[in-house]
Amino acid sequence: MPKRMAYRILCTLVCTLVFISIAAAHEVRISERAKVGNGPELEQGTYRVEVEKNQDSAEVLFFQGGELIVTAPAILTKEAVKCDNTEIHSEEVDGERVITKIWLQGWKESLVFKQDTPKAE
């Protein structure tokens, strides 16, 4: 009997951890090819985004079809309210679309991606 109970507790714990990890992932749709800050470029499509937090910074991982496509550093910025729907902010820089910020649904923090700043000559 004790082995059976221990097995049930272990199974419950594993299932809980799996559900928590799935809940931590968010789906993001990129409508057109864009760079993530001053980092790598993403093609148009739907990505699963996971965030690894480290104090005030984060590493953002973009997955497609279960495969890691891109990782990019981001700065966590506090927002006044929780986000109702995932928002992707981008701008045109030197003829390229650049993602500057992603605010994930249900979060009170947004992910801000660093951009190259033009050098004065």
Q: pLDDT by residue (tens digit) across 64-100?
A: 998 999 999 999 999 999 999 999 999 998 889 999 9
Burial 9-39 (b: 16+ CB within 10 A, else e): eeeeeeeeeeeeeeeeebebebeeebbbbeb
Give CA 112 to chain center in angstroms. Answer: 11
For residue 4, the model assigns a pLDDT of 78
Q: Evaluate whether 40 touches 18 at the Cβ level (below 8 Å).
A: no
Does pLDDT of 121 surpass 50? no
pLDDT tens digits for range 104-116 = 999 999 999 986 5
In the chain, domain spans: 26-112
Q: Evaluate whether 55 touches 116 at the Cβ level (below 8 Å).
A: no
Q: Which residue pairs from 41-47 have beta carbons closer than 8 angstroms and sit at least 24 positions apart in sequence?
A: 41/70, 42/69, 42/70, 42/99
Name the H helices within the chain: 2-24
